[in-house]
Amino acid sequence: MSKPRLVILHRNMGLLGGAQRDLIVALPEHAKRWSITVATLNAPQLLLDRCEQLGIEVVKPDVPWQLPTGPIAEMTARAGRSALKSWRKLRAKLQPALDAADACYVVLSTGGMEVLDIVPNNCPLYVYIHERDKGIYDDVLQRDMDGRLRYPLIVKNLALTYLRRWDQRWHKRLWKRPQSAVSANTPTSSRLLASSHRWPTSKDWVAGDVKFRDAQQRPAEVGVLWPAIDPTAWPTEETEEERIAWQAFDHKPTSPYLLTIGRAGFMKGSKEAVQVAAAASLPLVHVGGGETDEMQRKANKFGAELIVMPRIDEMEIVALMRNAHALIATARTEGFGLTPMEAAMVGTPALVVSDCGFTHTVTDGFNGRRLPWPNTEEGLEQWVQAIEQAGDEANRIAWSTAGRERILERFTANHQAEGLARSLVAMGVDVETTELNMLPGLDPA
């Protein structure tokens, strides 16, 4: 019996951020249930290689779409308007797959809802919005590392009036659409997304348990579809390939170190990470670029040793994670937070702020430490104590074991594929589902 046909659409896979890598990780499990076509305006080689391995068709423009950037682009919603034009151009090439589709699956990171324009109205649709657009609905991206607004708030609000209206127009279109479901990647992300558009949210947080508000199966709430973590990419024991990569790694720290991963800035709490490292008298290794010059100035101010890594490959990141004393995660408005889960997979303690997405994954003292913001003397002292605890081998083993078990029972690609399949079955799509136990979300963990 042939598998049902699924078209997966994503505006810009070329970003290769968390949302894009999440889809690439989950593709093998999706491909077990569906005959898939992936459509994107920018297809990186990593995606093309994965799809070739899986026998998945990729539909893309001859010339990759590029995301317009800059203040004028934001004020005029140039990214959305440009993407809409590109999707319409791509439609002729994609139309055979859309005509044959049993369902469509739209994956969004920051923006990209314009793809709704080409999705057939009679096709069951699942939209996975990892997080709402931070640049439109909050101000974490408009602040410097000290938290000061770069521009007066009234200027920002006026400048983004058109962009906000553009975004809301497409979200309203989704909410009115029959045979549709919408989810975010955690309860926190769901609540933030819903608050931006005055939508209800789930109370159960079970992936695949979708609810509709009428007989036409319009969405009744914002649900949850958890990110997927690939255990094979983060093995419990060091592989031979990883060992060789670590031995040859030119930028390998020579003493115990703390690690932070993500684009340096206010949102990622880079200043606070530096303060923690200074208080603990351990070097801080940073991976991910961003405002690294400003991060270095903060390190100089607080007396911390900061090591900024150049661009390194995935195997080197795994080795760097495994050999760290602890991972420090001090991000603001983080939807899920993959790095603490990845750290647990390789036996490295994850020390996180008790904020947003981390509250759904890390249980304090069970699979890591969840701590207050280190912006008081008392809070900073708790971080120093947690770093000392991270050096205890018994803690490292216990936290990693509990973290891996939590991941395997909740956050695998199989769980994500099952959640999507069950949601589309509720819309009448004939796709395989299993008896996999889908646990309710931890809110908080």
Residue 239 CB contacts under 8 Å (≥ 6 apart), including other chains: none
How far is residue 207's CA from residue 415's CA, in Å, rounded to a whole number? 8
Kindly tell me if the per-residue pLDDT of 169 is higher than 90.
yes
Q: For residue range 213-239, what is the model confidence (pLDDT) as tens digits?
A: 999 999 999 999 999 999 999 999 999
Confidence band (pLDDT; 50, 70, 90) for 52? very high
The whole-chain average pLDDT of the chain stands at: 96
**Beta-carbon contacts of residue 326 (< 8 Å; ≥ 6 apart):** 258, 259, 348, 349, 350, 351, 386, 387, 390
Cα-trace Rg, the chain: 22
Q: Is the pTM here over 0.85, yes or no?
A: yes
Mode of pairing for the β-strands spanning 306-308 and 258-261:
unpaired
The predicted-structure confidence for 72-83, as pLDDT tens digits, reads as follows: 888 899 999 999
pLDDT, average across residues 94-111: 95
Strands of 247-342 (E only): list them: 258-261, 284-287, 306-308, 326-329
pLDDT digits (tens, 9 = 90+) for 263-289: 999 999 999 999 999 999 999 999 999
Query: In this structure, are strands 180-184 and 125-129 parallel, antiparallel, or unpaired?
Result: parallel
pLDDT of residue 164: 93
Structure tokens, 346: 């390789």
How many CB atoms are located within 10 Å of the residue 187 CB? 25
Give me the percent of the chain exceeding a pLDDT of 70.
Answer: 100
Whether 358 and 364 have beta carbons less than 8 Å apart is answered as no
> Residue with structure tokens 């789930």?
202
User: What is the DSSP-derived secondary structure letter of residue 149?
Assistant: B
Structural domains of the chain, ranges and CATH numbers in brackets = 5-228+412-425 (3.40.50.2000), 232-409 (3.40.50.2000)
Cα 240 to the center of its chain, rounded Å: 29
Burial state string for 11-40 with b = 16 or more CB within 10 A and e = fewer than 16:
bbbbbeebbbbbbbbbbbbbbebbbbbbbb
DSSP code of 420?
H
**What's the rounded Cα separation, in Å, for the pair 225 and 415?**
9
Residue 174 corresponds to which tokens in the numbers above?
A: 């989704």
Confidence of residue 153 (pLDDT cuts 50, 70, 90): confident
201-233 b/e with 16+ CB inside 10 Å = b?
A: bbeebebbbbebeeeebbbebbbbbbbbbbeee
The reply to whether omega before 200 is within 30° of 0 (cis) is no
